[in-house]
C-alpha cells in the first residue's frame, strides 16, 4: 500500500513535468521566427495549427535518437540545418529551392509554396520511397494516360448539350476536371507567372499557380514530383492522430464508388472505434494492439507499425497501400489481383483497352501479381486480423471474400452481355463503333453495376459491413439494375423497330 | 522553474474554485423554484437539462457586466425582474403574457407554453433582430405564400390515387405537411381551445395547440412572432456547444436536397473536426481561431464572432445567415445572387412564377443583391477563410466556385430544354398547360437535376467535399439523369405515336 | 467553505482509491490463467479486450451482492464454480460442455468455440429469457421458414443469367446467403468435423464450423440455441457502453430498408447525443435521466432500466425489443400492430402468403396484438418520452405517427394496384401466376415503395428525423417511384401490344 502511495505521488509529479515540458520552448530557427512574425497575424490558424504539432516541439536530431520502433523519421542522416531546430516554415518551405519552379523571393528568403513528398523525404525517405510505389502517387497519371479512363472522365464531367433532339457530349473544361476527378486524384500544379498582390505589409509578388488549390494524392508538383503528403497528414499540424483516424481516408473513400469508409463505419470494428475511441491512444509509435486500441481503424490494417504488448512486431509500417492487399476490389468491371506496378496505364487487354481484364472477365496475363505474391500479401493482412481473431475465423473470412469476388464478377459478366446486345443492335454506340463506352444510358447502368454495386458488395464482405452487401448499394441494387437493363433493351428495341427516333422529329 | 511551480499551484487552486463556484447556488426566483418543485418529478429530463445550462447559473445582470466581446447577451438594459435571478422556467415562460395566445393559468401563475424569439429577444435583442432578417425566420411563409412552392409541396406530400389507369394527385393533408416540409420550415401554432387533463397532481387544464410539437425555423408562434430559437439552441440547456457543433445544422441540412452537413463532414475541415474536436473549446466567447479550434464548423464560417489570439476581430457574430453569403447555391433551378429581402415570395419571373430566375436561367432584376453587395459579402467570408488559408488559396477557391455555378446552371438549362419538349408535345402537362410542374415523371427527373445533383456539386465546390461533386449525387448523376430524360422523351413519344395510353384500357 | 475544502480533499482521496482499486487484481481461475498463457501471444487483442472488461474484474458472487437496481446479473443463484472467480475464458467457454456439439479437447480442457445465449444465461437468465421472446432471436428461422421471404432472399441473392434474351434467376448459393441476409439474421453454425491445424504450439485439432464466422442476432448455435449476445455486447469486453451507444444498433439498422440509426442521428436526440456524449455516463446501472445523459440513445428508449434522480423507476430493462413497441413500422408492405409471437412464420394471409396483412392492407386477425396490448405498450414508451417531454408533446407526437402509418399504408395500396395490373396483363408474373413476386422490375419497384420509402417516412415520424420523411428516401421518392411504376406499365403495355418481346429475337 505504501508503494501505491509512492506511485500516486510519482504520478502527480509526472503530470507536473508533462505540463512543464510542453511549456519549455524548443529551438526555433531564425528563418522560422521571421515567418512567424507576420504570419501569426495574417494566417493565425496556420501558425496555431503548427504550434500544436510535434514538428514545432521536436528537432529531427532528437527524433533520430529514439529507439528504432519509436522513431517517426526514417532518415539515416540529416542535413546540419535540420539537426537542432524544430521543423517550421523556414525548414520545409526552403528545402531544395532550385528544384522548385514555385520558389520565389519572399522578404529576402527563397521560399516555395508547395511542399512536396520530395521535401518531406529529407527526414522521411522510407515513407517517400514507399509512397512512390503506391498507386495513389500515380492516381493522376493513371487517369490522364489511359484513353479509356479519359472517356470516363469526359462522360462524367463534359457538359451535354441538348441539340436537335439529341444530347451531344462536349469535352470537359479543365477547371471542371480539377474540381471533379482530380480533386482526389490530383491536379498538375504549374507556375503561370508572377503576380503582384496588395498585402497587409505592402505590395508583394507571388507565383501564380494553376491547378491550385489541390491536395490530390497523385498531384504533380512544381518540383516535378508526384503525390502529396497533406491529403492524409493534414497541414500544418501533421497529426498522426488525424492520419490514423478513419475520417482522413473517408475524405476520398466515402462515395458509392469507393465506400470503404461507410462500410468500416457500419462494421463491428467501426462500431467499437466510434464507441470507445476517446479512451485510446492515437499517437503512440509503435501502436500496440489491445493497449492503445481494441479495434482497428483503416490505418491499423492497411499501413501502421503494429506490436503486441510484449513489443513483438505484428506488422511493419508501409506507405505502399497494397502491401497487405492481394486483390483489387473496386474501380474496375472485374475484381482482380493487384497490379505489379503502381503505374497502371501500360496494361492493355485483348480489345486494346487499358484494362487488366477482358470484357468477359478473363485476366490479362503479365501485369498482375501471381498467386505466390497474392498469398504473401494475404498472409500479411491475415496476421493483422489474427491480432484479434482466431485462425479459423480469419481463414473463413477470406474464403468468404473469395466467394464474393467470384459471384460479383459473374454479375458484371451478365450485365456486360446485355450491354453488348445493345451495341450489337446499334441502340447505343460502344466498342464495335469505337465510341465512348460510358456516355449513354445503358452504358451508364452497366457502370453502376460494377462501379457502385459490386464494389459495395465486395467491400462489405472484406470488412463485414452488413447492409452494404444487401440493400445499401449491394445485391438488391445489382438485381434491380440488371432487370432495368433488360427492360431498357426491350423497350428500345421495340421503339427502334417502329421507327422510334424519327418520331422525335417535330 | 520556481515561477513554474507557482503556476502549477495556482492552476490547482483555480481548479478548486472552478469546482467550488459551480456548486455555489445562484439565486433562483421563487417562481422558478415553484415550477421546479413539481417538474423535477414529472419531467426530470427537462429540469436536469436546464440545470446543466448557463441560464441556470448566471443572472442576466451578471452577464451584462462581461467585457463586450465576451458578452452573450446583447440587451442594453434589462427588466428589473431579470437582473438578479438566473434564467429559469419562471422567467422565460412568463414573459409578455398578454401577447401570448397560449398563456394560461397554471397553479396560480400565468405561463405560456411556447417561448418565442420575441421572448428570447428581451435579453438577446440583437440576435433576434438579425434572425428576423434571416430567410430562415420566413421559411414557412416563403413556402405558404408562393404558389409554385405550394405546387411542389403538393407533389411531394399529396397522396396519388391510382384510378382508371391513371394517378390522380390529391391535396396533402395538413398533418402530412406538418411532418414533411413544415417539420423544418415551421408550422403555424395556434390555440384550439382549452383541454382538461388528468395529471400526477390532479386534473388541470391546458391550451390545446395545433401544429405542435414543432421546432421549425420559420414557425409562426401563438404570439404571432416568426421563427424559433430552439432548432439550434436546443432546450433546455441552450448549450452554445451544441449550436456550434455541426450536428445541429445537420438536422435539417443533411438530405440530398440540402446536403451541406455531409459535404462538410467529408471535407478536410470536417475530418479535422471529427478527429480533434475533443481537444477544442466550444464554449469560449469570443471564439479564437487556432486556440479554441483548428478547423471550422458550420457556425464558425457562417455565424460566429471570431478573433485571433491577439484578440483582433476576424468576423462579427450574425444570426442573419446570408451576411457572409453572396450566392444562393441550393433549392432552386439556377444558382443566383442572394435575395435582398428574406421574404422571397414577392419575387416573380417573366412567366409569372415566384422565382428569381427565368426558366432559361436569366435573372430577374431587382430582388437580388447587386455585384457590389455580392463582393462585400464574399469578402466577409473570405476573411474567415484567410484565418487559415493563404490569399491565393482563397481567391482561387472562390473562382472555382464561380466556375461550378456557371457550369451547373448550364446543366439545368439543358434539362429544362428536354422538359419543355415534353410539355410542347403534350407528353406531360406543365407551364403551357398551366399545370403543376412537379408532379409527373419527367418533371420530377428535372427536379432531381437541380434540386439534388447540381446542388450537391455546388456545395462540394463551396466546401471541398470531394465525391459529392462526382459520384455521390454529383456530376455522374447529372449526366445519367439527363440521358434518362432523353430516353424517356423518346420512348414516350413513340408510345404516344402508336396510340400508347389507349392501349392501357382493358 | 471549510466543508467545501473537506469535500475537495475527499474527492482527491476518492480518485486515489478509484485508481488503486482498478490496480488490485481479482481472482482469476486456474483454467482461465492457463488459457491466457498462450492466448496473450496468439490473440493479444482478444486478451487485452477482455482485460478491459468488467468480466475480468468482478466475480459473479460480488455482482450478486449489489443493490437490486444496480445489479447486472439476474440469476437468483450461481454455480459454485462462478462464485469467486472473475468471468474469463475458462468460465464461459467451458459451460455446459455436453450440450455443445463444438466442444473439443484443447490442451486437456473441454472447451467450445461458440458461447451462446444459453451459456450467458447462467448468470443472466432474465435477459436470456426475454431475448428468447424477442423477434431477433428468431430472425433466421423467421426467414428460412417463410416461403414468401425465401422468394425475397432468392430475388436478392440469386445470380441472374442472361440467356436467350432473358434473365433467368438461379437459386442463391449458401455462402452468398450467409454474407447477405443471414449476416444480420444469423447463420446455422454446425460442426462439419475435426480439422488439424499447425499452430505456434504444434499441430492441434479443432472443430470445423460451417456458417462461421457469423454474429447474426438469430444465429442457430452448435448447442441448438437460437440467437447471439455478441452482436450487441461485442466480445470480449462486453462493454455496456458499446451496447448503449447507437453505433451498435447501427450495424444492422442503417441501410435504406432499416434506417433507424440514420433517422436517430438526424434527430434532435441524435444531435444532442453527438454533441455532448463525452460528458455522459454510459456505464451507470441503473441509468439516470438527466444525470447520466440528457438525450436518449436507442437503448434508452427501447431497452434500458431508467430511473430519475430520486431513484424512481421510469422503465424496466427488457431484452424483448417490442415490449415498448405497439406497431411494426418496417420490413413489410403495410405497417401493422406487433405480432403476438416472436415466431412469425406461422402467420398466413387470405392469399396464403405468410404475412400478417392482405395485399389490400387489411389485417389478418389473430396473430397480431390487440388494441389493449397496443395501448399498454404505447404507454410504456410514452412514459420514457415523458422523462423529457410534456404530455401534450408526447400525445401529439404519437397521433402524428398514427397519421403517417395510415397515409403510408395508402401509398402501398396504390402501388399494389399498379403491380396487380401488370400481373393481370401478364407483363410480369406474380401471385396469379404463382410466381416469385420480388424478381421482376415492377415488382422490385413495388418493394422500393414500402421496403425503403414508406419505412423511412415512418421511422422519421417515429423519431423526428426530418428529411428522411421528405427527400431522403421519403415522400418525394414515394411519389416519384409511383409515377415511374405508372410509366413502366404504360410503356410495357404498348411494347407488348406491338409484339414487343418477339422483336428482341435476332
The string of pLDDT tens digits covering residues B404-460 is 999 999 999 999 999 999 999 999 999 999 999 999 999 999 999 999 999 999 999
Chain C residues in contact with B158 by the CB 8 A cut-off are: 479
Q: Specify the pLDDT at position C23.
A: 40
Chain B nearest-CA distance from A424, in A, is: 19
Tell me: pLDDT of B234 over 50: yes
Q: Which residues of A touch B471 (CB under 8 A)?
A: 156, 255-257, 451-452
pTM above 0.80, yes or no: yes
Q: Which chain A residues have a beta carbon less than 8 Å from that of C89? A: none
For residue B497, what pLDDT band results from cuts at 50, 70 and 90? confident
Q: pLDDT tens for residues C451-486?
A: 999 999 999 999 999 899 999 999 999 999 999 999
Tell me the percentage of chain B whose pLDDT exceeds 70: 94
pLDDT of residue C496: 87
Q: Does residue A82 contact residue A122 with C-beta atoms inside 8 Å?
A: yes
Q: Which residues pair with A82 in a beta bridge?
A: none
Listed range (A227-236, B217-226, C4-13) with the worst mean pLDDT: C4-13
**pLDDT bracket for residue C430 (50, 70, 90):** very high
**Residues A467-497: tens digit of each pLDDT:** 999 999 999 999 999 999 999 999 999 988 8
| CA distance to partner chain C, nearest, from residue A159 (Å) | 26
Length in residues, chain C: 506
Of A271, A393, A491, which is closest to C247 when you measure between CB atoms? A271
User: B239 contacts in C (CB within 8 Å)?
Assistant: 275-276
Cβ–Cβ under 8 Å, residues A337 and A326: yes
Closest Cβ–Cβ partner in A47, A213, A494 for B290: A47
Residue B2: band (very low, low, confident or very high) from pLDDT cuts 50, 70, 90: low
Residues from chain A that touch B271, judged by Cβ atoms under 8 A, are 234, 242, 245, 247-248, 250-251
Written as nine digits, the cell of B364 is 430577374
pLDDT at A15 over 90: no
Q: What's the average model confidence in pLDDT over C153-157?
A: 98
- ipTM of the complex, rounded to two decimals: 0.94
A470, C183: Cβ pair inside 8 Å? Answer: yes
Which three cell numbers, joined as nine digits, stand for C458?
415512418
pLDDT of residue B181: 98
Please spell the DSSP secondary structure of C185-245, one letter per residue. Answer: H--B-EEEEEEEEEEBTEEEEEEEEES-S---TTPBPTTS-B--STTTS-TTTT-HHHHHS
- Exposure string of A221-254, with b = 16+ CB inside 10 Å and e = fewer, is bbbebbbbbbbbbbbbbbbbebbbbbbbbbbbbb
Kindly tell me if the per-residue pLDDT of B504 is higher than 90: no
pLDDT at B499 over 90: no
All residues of chain A having their beta carbon less than 8 Å from the beta carbon of residue C278 are 278
- Determine the straight-line distance between the first and last CA of chain C, rounded to whole angstroms: 96
Output the pLDDT for position B13: 59
SS3 content of chain B, % helix, strand, coil (to 5): 50, 10, 40
Looking at residue A9, its pLDDT comes to 66
At residue A498 the predicted structure's pLDDT band, cuts being 50, 70 and 90, is confident
Contact C468 B255 (CB under 8 A): yes
| pLDDT cut 70: percent of chain A above it | 94
The answer, yes or no, to whether residue C15 has pLDDT greater than 70, is no
Nearest-CA distance C182 → chain B (Å): 28
* End-to-end Cα distance, chain A: 96
Nearest Cβ partner for A213 among B266, B397, B494: B397
pLDDT of residue C104: 98
C-alpha cell at B132: 428576423
What pLDDT score does C20 carry?
Answer: 44
Residue bearing the bigger pLDDT, A12 or A206: A206
pLDDT for residue B109 is more than 50:
yes
In C115-163, alpha helices (H):
117-120, 125-132, 141-144, 147-157
% helix, strand, coil for chain A, step of 5: 50, 10, 40
> CA B308, CA A67: separation in Å to the nearest integer?
39
For residue A178, the chain B residue with the least C-alpha distance is B400
3-state DSSP of A113-182: CCCCHHHHCCCCHHHHHHHHCCHHHHCCHHHHCCHHHHHHHHHHHCCEEEECCEEEECCCCHHHHHHCHH
Contact flag A47-B489 (C-beta cutoff 8 Å): no
Per residue in C255-264, pLDDT (tens digit) is 999 999 999 9
Contact criterion met (CB < 8 Å) for C392 and B212: yes
- Of A181-185, B273-277, C324-328, C491-495, the range with the lowest mean pLDDT is C491-495
The mean-pLDDT minimum among A284-298, B441-455, C11-25 falls in C11-25
Interatomic CA distance for residues B78 and B34, integer angstroms: 23
Using CB atoms within 10 Å of the CB of residue B165, give its burial: 0 to 12 exposed, 13 to 18 middle, 19+ buried: middle
Q: Is the CB of B242 less than 8 angstroms away from the CB of C272?
A: yes
* CA–CA gap between residue B125 and residue B76 (Å, rounded): 9
Is A193 strand, coil or helix?
strand
* DSSP state, residue B134: S
Percent of chain C topping pLDDT 90? 91
Local confidence band at A16 (pLDDT 50, 70, 90 cut-offs): low
Q: Which of C180, C215, C501 sits opposite A475 (nearest CB)?
A: C180
Bond preceding residue C286 cis, omega within 30 of 0: yes
Mean pLDDT, chain A, integer: 94
Nearest CB to A175 within list B400, B471, B490: B400
CA–CA min distance A271, chain C (Å): 5
Whether the per-residue pLDDT at B3 is higher than 70: the answer is no
Cβ within 8 Å, pair B271-A161: no
In this complex, do A247 and B270 lie within 8 Å of one another by their Cβ atoms? yes
**Beta-bridge partner residues of B220:** B188, B226
Looking at residue C4, its pLDDT comes to 65
Amino acid at each position: 500500500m505504501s508503494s501505491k502511495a509512492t506511485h500516486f505521488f510519482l504520478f502527480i509529479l509526472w503530470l507536473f513535468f508533462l505540463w512543464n515540458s510542453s511549456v519549455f520552448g524548443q529551438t526555433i530557427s531564425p528563418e522560422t521566427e521571421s515567418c512567424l512574425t507576420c504570419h501569426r497575424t495574417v494566417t493565425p490558424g496556420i501558425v496555431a495549427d503548427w504550434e500544436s504539432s510535434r514538428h514545432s516541439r521536436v528537432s529531427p536530431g532528437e527524433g533520430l535518437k529514439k529507439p528504432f520502433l519509436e522513431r517517426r523519421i526514417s532518415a539515416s542522416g540529416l542535413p546540419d540545418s535540420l539537426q537542432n531546430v524544430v521543423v517550421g516554415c523556414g525548414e520545409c518551405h526552403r528545402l531544395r529551392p532550385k528544384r522548385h519552379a514555385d520558389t520565389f523571393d519572399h522578404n529576402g528568403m527563397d521560399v516555395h509554396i508547395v511542399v512536396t513528398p520530395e521535401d518531406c523525404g529529407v527526414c522521411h525517405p522510407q515513407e517517400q520511397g514507399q509512397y512512390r510505389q503506391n498507386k495513389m502517387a500515380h492516381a493522376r497519371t493513371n487517369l490522364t494516360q489511359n484513353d479509356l479512363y479519359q472517356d470516363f472522365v469526359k462522360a462524367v464531367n463534359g457538359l451535354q448539350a441538348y441539340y436537335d433532339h439529341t444530347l451531344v457530349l462536349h469535352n470537359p473544361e479543365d477547371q471542371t476536371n480539377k474540381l471533379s476527378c482530380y480533386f482526389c486524384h490530383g491536379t498538375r500544379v504549374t507556375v503561370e507567372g508572377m503576380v503582384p498582390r496588395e498585402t497587409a505589409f505592402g505590395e508583394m509578388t507571388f507565383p501564380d499557380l494553376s491547378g491550385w488549390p489541390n491536395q490530390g494524392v497523385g498531384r504533380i508538383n512544381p518540383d516535378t514530383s508526384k503525390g502529396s503528403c497533406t491529403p492524409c497528414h493534414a497541414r500544418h499540424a501533421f497529426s498522426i492522430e488525424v492520419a490514423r483516424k478513419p475520417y482522413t481516408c473517408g475524405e476520398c473513400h466515402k462515395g458509392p464508388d469507393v465506400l470503404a469508409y461507410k462500410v468500416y463505419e457500419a462494421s463491428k470494428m467501426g462500431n467499437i472505434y466510434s464507441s470507445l475511441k476517446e479512451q485510446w491512444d492515437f499517437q503512440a509509435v509503435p501502436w500496440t494492439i489491445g493497449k492503445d486500441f481494441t479495434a482497428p481503424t483503416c490505418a491499423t490494417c492497411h499501413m501502421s507499425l503494429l506490436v503486441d504488448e510484449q513489443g513483438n512486431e505484428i506488422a511493419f509500417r508501409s506507405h505502399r497501400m497494397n502491401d497487405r492487399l492481394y486483390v483489387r476490389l473496386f474501380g474496375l468491371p472485374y475484381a482482380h489481383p493487384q497490379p505489379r506496378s503502381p503505374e497502371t496505364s501500360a496494361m492493355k487487354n485483348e480489345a486494346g483497352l487499358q484494362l487488366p481484364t477482358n470484357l468477359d472477365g478473363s485476366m490479362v496475363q503479365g501485369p498482375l501479381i501471381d498467386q505466390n505474391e497474392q498469398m504473401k500479401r494475404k498472409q500479411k493482412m491475415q496476421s493483422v486480423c489474427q491480432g484479434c481473431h482466431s485462425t479459423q475465423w480469419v481463414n473463413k473470412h477470406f474464403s468468404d471474400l473469395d466467394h464474393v469476388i467470384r459471384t460479383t464478377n459473374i454479375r458484371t459478366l451478365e450485365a456486360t452481355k446485355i450491354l453488348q446486345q445493345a451495341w450489337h443492335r446499334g441502340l447505343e454506340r460502344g466498342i464495335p463503333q469505337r465510341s465512348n463506352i460510358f456516355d449513354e444510358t445503358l452504358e451508364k447502368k452497366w457502370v453502376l453495376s460494377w462501379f457502385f454495386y459490386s464494389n459495395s458488395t465486395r467491400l462489405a464482405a472484406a470488412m463485414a459491413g452488413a447492409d452494404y452487401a444487401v440493400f445499401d448499394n449491394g445485391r438488391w441494387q445489382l438485381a434491380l439494375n440488371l432487370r432495368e437493363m433488360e427492360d431498357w433493351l426491350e423497350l428500345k428495341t421495340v421503339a427502334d423497330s417502329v421507327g422510334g427516333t424519327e418520331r422525335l422529329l417535330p
